Amino acid sequence: MDILLIILGILCLAAGLAGCILPVIPGPPVAYAGLLLLHFTDKASFTTAQLLTWLFVVILLQVLDYFIPMLSSKYSGGSRWGTRGCLIGTVAGLFFMPWGIILGPFLGAFFGELLGGRETGEALKSGFGSLVGFLFGTVLKFVVCGYFSWLFIETLV
Q: Which of 20, 25, 53, 29 is nearest to 141 (CA)?
A: 20
pLDDT surpassing 90 at residue 134: no
Q: Which of 24, 105, 18 is nearest to 66 (CA)?
A: 105
Q: Which of 47, 34, 46, 45 is nearest to 8 (CA)?
A: 34
pLDDT surpassing 80 at residue 94: no
pLDDT digit string, tens, across residues 6-57 = 999 999 999 999 988 877 788 999 999 999 999 999 888 899 999 999 999 9
Highest mean pLDDT among 3-7, 120-124, 130-134: 3-7
pLDDT surpassing 90 at residue 151: yes
Q: Which of 131, 128, 153, 157 is nearest to 17 (CA)?
A: 153
| Residue burial 126-135, b: 16+ Cβ < 10 Å; e: rest | bbbbbbbbbe
Quickly state the pLDDT bin for 133 (edges 50, 70, 90): confident
Q: Are 13 and 153 in contact (CB under 8 A)?
A: no
Instruction: Domain of residue 12: give its range.
Output: 2-156
Q: Report pLDDT for 33.
A: 96
SS3 at position 32: helix
CA angle at residue 63 from 59 to 68, to 5 degrees?
135
Q: Which of 144, 141, 157, 152 is nearest to 46 (CA)?
A: 152
pTM over 0.85: no
Mean pLDDT of 69-77: 77
Total domains, the chain = 1
Q: Report pLDDT for 43.
A: 86
Q: Which helix (H) or strand (E) holds 129?
A: helix 120-156
Classify burial at 67, counting beta carbons within 10 Å of its beta carbon; exposed 0-12, middle 13-18, buried 19 or more.
Answer: middle
